[in-house]
Amino acid sequence: MITRTMTFRLAAIVSAVASSAAIFTAAPAVAEPPACTDVEVIFARGTGEPPGIGRVGQAFVDALTPQLGGRTVGSYGVVYPASYDFLTAAEGANDAAARIESMSASCPDTRLVLGGYSQGAAAVDMLAGIPPLGNKIGDIGSAPPLPAAYDSSIAAVAVFGNPSTKFSIPITSSVFSGRAIDLCTDGDPICSRGRNPFAHSDYVSAGMPDQAATYVAGLV
């Protein structure tokens, strides 16, 4: 039998729980600013790789870090689907641009390194003003170039297996000229006229992240 005392106690408990829930839900979420390291690598992974900076991106960061004399190095994996629908590269370009803008405002002394592999390299191309193949900047599947105000924020650029290089439009001939390296393994059909499909997954074993790291270390 439920007595009047029990009813009052139950009501008190329900009221206390409701009040606690109100306290927890009332507090607005506060976005934390990005951590400020000496150098940050903003890297767009290749098609089909899991979220993060990908295998090539990680090898690049691992090779770059010991060459920077103890300076702190952070990494940011560009957020985009990296699916087999190549139109998603534009999403990667837009996310990378947003990260550059955020870091420029919150961490102005951090040296930013922009990088990408395969479809991720295509995303970086768009920021350099190189449109996706067969399109123009502004078309569906494209993203606008990085605003000129943030161009000077980029200390160096490193791309691997870049599709536009196959058509003689390397990122080294873009606005990033003089601070960019564009690497293609021998026979990679994605970035050259080669016909070796296995070459496109051979960047780490070919030592190209190390080569890029040495180049970038001289700029940051």
Q: Annotated active-site positions, please?
A: 118, 188, 200
CA distances from 196 to 20, 144, 166 (A): 62, 32, 14
Asked whether the beta carbons of 115 and 42 are under 8 A apart, the reply is: yes
In angstroms, the CA 198 to CA 201 distance is 6
Q: What is the CA radius of gyration of the chain?
A: 23
Asked whether the beta carbons of 30 and 182 are under 8 A apart, the reply is: no
Residue among 138, 183, 136, 137 nearest 158 (CA): 183
Tokens representing 62 are: 């691992």
